[in-house]
Amino acid sequence: MEKTIKFPVIDLSKLNGKERDQTMALIEDACQNWGFFELVNHGLPYDLMDNIERMTKEHYKKHMEQKFKEMLRSKGLDTLETEVEDVDWESTFYLRHLPQSNLYDIPDMSNEYRLAMKDFGKMVENLAEELLDLLCENLGLEKGYLKKVFHGTKGPTFGTKVSNYPPCPKPEMIKGLRAHTDAGGLILLFQDDKVSGLQLLKDGDWVDVPPLKHSIVINLGDQLEVITNGKYKSVMHRVMTQKEGNRMSIASFYNPGSDAEISPATSLVDKDSKYPSFVFDDYMKLYAGLKFQPKEPRFEAMKNAEVAADLNPVAAVETF
């Protein structure tokens, strides 16, 4: 039998009408069975999205493309004669919004681009918090529960990774971004509406996350799997390279604060949980060295802080 796979697309405006229950059920199904969904009518202004897309592409051409090409040369990636498994074919920079913004420390951004990113960041932050409450409602947790867990003493960590995946002459030799699950909480992705590449692993098959103009792709990170005691899934995903076209992606990560204490919500645990409890920063230190490996050994390692220290060969770097 042919498999029909329908990637979940959720119309957020329907939460205000008679289709609310149905929409909440779609979100629940996506969180449990996909770890991903795509939002339309999410309330982010389309003109702001268009401006950001334009400026991100201009910024890449003007300030990043040359550096990317030099990186290819210095790493010997200009020939790609054999498969490369330890580098990603991407050009990125990171903006942190919370707990402290670094927006004015990033070089080479125009004032207009900076201000647009600041507005966009604030709106995406609000959308993330709105979504966390929808998840609470579906999970039977009190409103504000997830936001409170993520808060720690300094509020959430919230940042944006701006990426370009330039065309690649031999896509079969290298990934745009190797398969991984995301470490944090909720990820909100504004992706190129023409050039595809993002795939998620569903029941053993890689499934495309289709480009859809003005949509926002949502996925759940490891922390939400832990807090929901595995009810919701943090799912493996990757970016494929393409021969044609430069794929833009702007991924915003709404994560717990560094000292937030993460554990499965008591109301979602029957007896013993197979998930660990820990301080978020300790998880991130472990993740920094094990990002491109399955999440299960990370969860196992966090059950025992000493093991976690042994498994952590790499110093923490800025990663979301």
* Contact residues: Ni ion, CB under 5 A: 182
In the chain, the largest separation of any two C-alpha atoms, in whole Å, equals 58
Interface pick for ligand OGA out of 59, 161, 202, 295 (rule CB under 6 A): 161
- Closer residue to Ni ion (CB): 182 or 192: 182
Cβ of residue 256: shortest distance to ligand OGA, in angstroms?
Answer: 16
In the bound state with Ni ion, the residue whose beta carbon lies nearer, of 97 and 237, is 237
Q: Identify what 198 binds: ligand OGA, Ni ion, none; CB under 5 to 8 Å per kind.
A: ligand OGA
Task: Give which of 161, 181, 178 is closest to 224, Cα–Cα.
Answer: 181
How far lies 26's CA from each of 44, 133, 206, 255, 311, in Å?
21, 15, 21, 23, 38
Is residue 220 within 8 A of residue 255, CB to CB? The reply is no
Contact of residue 239 among ligand OGA, Ni ion, none (CB under 5-8 Å per partner type)? ligand OGA
- Rule CB under 6 A: is residue 237 a binding residue for ligand OGA? yes
Residue type, 1: M
53 binds ligand OGA (CB under 6 A): no
Contacting ligand OGA (CB under 6 A), which of 23, 164, 249, 255? 249
How many residues belong to the chain? 320
Q: What is the DSSP letter of 132?
A: H
Total number of residues that touch ligand OGA (CB under 6 A): 11
Element (H, E) at 249: strand 247-255
Q: Is residue 191 close enough to count as binding ligand OGA by CB under 6 A?
A: yes
Question: With respect to ligand OGA, which residue has the nearer C-beta, 192 or 282?
Answer: 192
In 3D, which of 220, 192, 160 has the Cα closest to residue 27?
A: 220
Query: Distance between CA 185 and CA 176 in Å, rounded?
Result: 22
Residues that bind ligand OGA (CB under 6 A): 161, 163, 177, 182, 189, 191, 198, 237, 239, 249, 251
